[in-house]
Structure formats: structure tokens, C-alpha cells
Structure 1
């Protein structure tokens, strides 16, 4: 029986950061949990980043994933929005790395192509395919659906060596 692994997908955003955790056993994917971390727009940027950090720390603590997949930033027309997204991404990368997770990054079009089959799929297509690939899963938001799609993409893209290393680490840690 193949060793089960868990992957955390993170769709970073300053207002809403989606997260999704899936299990992988051989070629079988299962939904574990998903959600959205929101930050209070009335707070300072630094305080909002702390809210995102605390939420991700809690998710990692509760679900103990073996690896994380974070969406790469896309070039936005609004430079200020792009910088804020970059800061939220930095929090996602930092929290994951501090937890000792292997972290992969995927471009939005790569995720869409991996999950839907088309690099320019819309949000409704992503949600539909996520829920088809993970029976019983109901994404709580578009951000959570995107995060689950990231985890699925990583499950499809992750190298065999990474899976073996994660399984060995997990077995050694007694999880």
C-alpha cells in the first residue's frame, strides 16, 4: 500500500488567502480540508500580514502537510496591488519554509492547465474540476478552490524523488 502524503495549496492574497489540503495515496487524491484566511482591511499592512501568517501557521499545525504549493504572482496592471500580492506570497512562502515543508511554486496558467486542461480556464471551471477530482469536496470560496487546484497540480507535478523524501521524513517523524 502506498504511503499517504498531504499537500497544502496556498492561493495568497492580502484580502483573502485561500488554502486547501489534500491527501495522496498512490494515484488517489482525497480532500482533507479547505478554507480562506481573511485580513481586516481597516488594519495596517503589517497587521494584515500578521493575520495571514497566524492563519497559515494554524492550518499547518492542524493538518501537518508534507509539502506546500504556492501560486506564483502574475503581473498586474496596478503596481500597488502587485506589491501587496507579493507581500502576501512572501508570508505564504516564509510560513511554509519555516514549518520545514518543501515548497513549490506554480504559475496560474500551469495550475489551470493541470487541473482543467486549459490554461485560461475561468474560476467556475476550476471549482467544478476540483470538486470532480476530489469527491465530496466543497470549496468554501474561489480562493479555497484555487488553493485546492494548486495542491492537485502539485500532486500531478511533484517528482517521485520529492514524494519518496517526504514519505521518509514523515515515517521518521512518526506521523
Structure 2
């Protein structure tokens, strides 16, 4: 099974493609980045285009996306929620199975402890994917963890 993990973001959205076979294998990881000089609609459109390219290139069986926590900065939270909605819409257009996971579920799936810190999660991502170190930037490593969590469902 091919899984596309998404760490939702507006300025930077992490993504990772993981194959779940006898072992977990990282196929590719990276970030979709939008710049603040673009209009809001253009930034969301850029996210849609790049997510569509990921789906066309890797043909995942499942898209796993992290649920949002409530944020103190409502403007940022709304923009991230809109970016997340773009991903869900594109995945829906491709008729791809979508799984939503919470941050604690991700930590639990990757480390066995729902309150693990970022360093612990990154160390386990590297181990589970048989890498020397977790992918960078952190958003890509987080997307790997999200994909791993989705492989357990």
C-alpha cells in the first residue's frame, strides 16, 4: 500500500510518500511552500496544484492528514484549515481513501507514547523507515510520522 502523509500548513505543508509492505519504506518526502507575496487564493491554488501532482505521480492508496488543534492565532488557524480543505478536496476528486489522525494518535503510533516530544518522534521515524536520520525540514519528518500512523489503520 502506498500512503501519502500530509502535515497541513499554509506557508509550508509537509508531505511524505511511504510504502507499507513487509517493512515501511520512504519513497519521497518534501514540502509545498507558498510565499506571503501571493494572494490568498493563489496560495491555496498552488497547494491544490502540487497536491494533485503528488497524487498523479505516486498514486497513493490512502491519504493521511493530521487533524488541526485549536490555535490561539485564529487567522493562522483559518488559513491552515483552508489549506487542509484543499487537500481533502483534491484527494476526494481522485477518489482516494482519506484518514484523519490527531497529533496524539500520530505520536502513539510512532513512539508508543502519545505525549512524545518532537525529537523522540523524529528518532522513531528514522528507525521505522530505516533512515540514518529523519527527513528535513521538520514538516517533512512530521508528514512521515503521519503516514506511518495511517499505515496502522
| Match status 1:65 vs 2:66 | no
SS at match of 1:68: strand
| Match status 1:151 vs 2:147 | yes
CA-based RMSD: 1.3
CA shift for structure 1 position 82: 1.2
Q: 1:21 aligns with which of 13, 17, 22?
A: 17
Aligned residues: 152
Q: Which has the higher contact order (CA 8 A, sep 6+)?
A: 2
After superposition, the C-alpha distances for 1:92-138 in whole angstroms (9 at most, x for unaligned) are: 11111111110000011110111122222222222211111001374
- Partner residue in 2 for 1:102: 97
Q: Normalised by the size of structure 2, how large is the TM-score?
A: 0.94
Q: What pairs up with 1:12-161 in 2 under 5 angstroms?
A: 12-26=8-22, 28-136=23-131, 138-156=134-152, 158=153
In 2, are the aligned partners of 1:21 and 1:148 still within 8 Å (CA)?
yes
Q: Tell me how far apart the structure 1 counterparts of residues 117 and 79 of structure 2 sit (CA, whole Å).
A: 23
- Partner residue in 2 for 1:7: 3
In 1, are the aligned partners of 2:123 and 2:134 still within 8 Å (CA)?
no
Q: Runs of 5+ in structure 1 lacking a partner?
A: 159-175
Q: Computing the radius of gyration over CA atoms, which structure comes out larger, 1 or 2?
A: 1
Q: Normalised by the size of structure 1, how large is the TM-score?
A: 0.83
